Amino acid sequence: MVIRRVCAWCGRDMGTKECESDCPEGVEDPITHTICPECKAKALAELNSISAKTTKPNE
C-alpha cells in the first residue's frame, strides 16, 4: 500500500512511500507525517538559538 507523506509543520506534500505490512487497511487516503527540509532547518536554528542563550560558558 502507498501512503502520502505530509510535513507536520507546514503541510507540504512530501510525496508518497510504500507502507510496510503494519499499515491500517480500509483507510481511504492513508497519510503519515514527517518534517520537510525547510521546516527542519528552521526548527534546528531555533533550538540552537535557544541553546546558545541558555547555555552558560565553562568557568
Domain annotation covers residue 36? yes
How far is the C-alpha of 45 from the C-alpha of 20, rounded, in Å? 33
Region of residue 50 (left: phi > 0; alpha: psi -120 to 50; beta: else):
alpha
When pLDDT is averaged across residues 22-49 and rounded to a whole number, the result is 88
| Three-state SS at 54 | helix
| The predicted structure's pLDDT at residue 2 | 85
What is the count of structural domains for the chain?
A: 1
Q: Does residue 59 lie within any of the structural domains?
A: no
- If you average pLDDT over residues 19-46, what whole number do you get? 86
pLDDT at residue 24 greater than cutoff 70 = no
If you average pLDDT over every residue of the chain, what do you get?
A: 86
CA 16 to chain centre: 14
Whole domain around residue 21: which residue ranges? 2-54
The model's pLDDT over 9-20, given as tens digits with 9 standing for 90+, comes to: 999 999 998 877
Q: Is the pLDDT of residue 59 over 90?
A: no
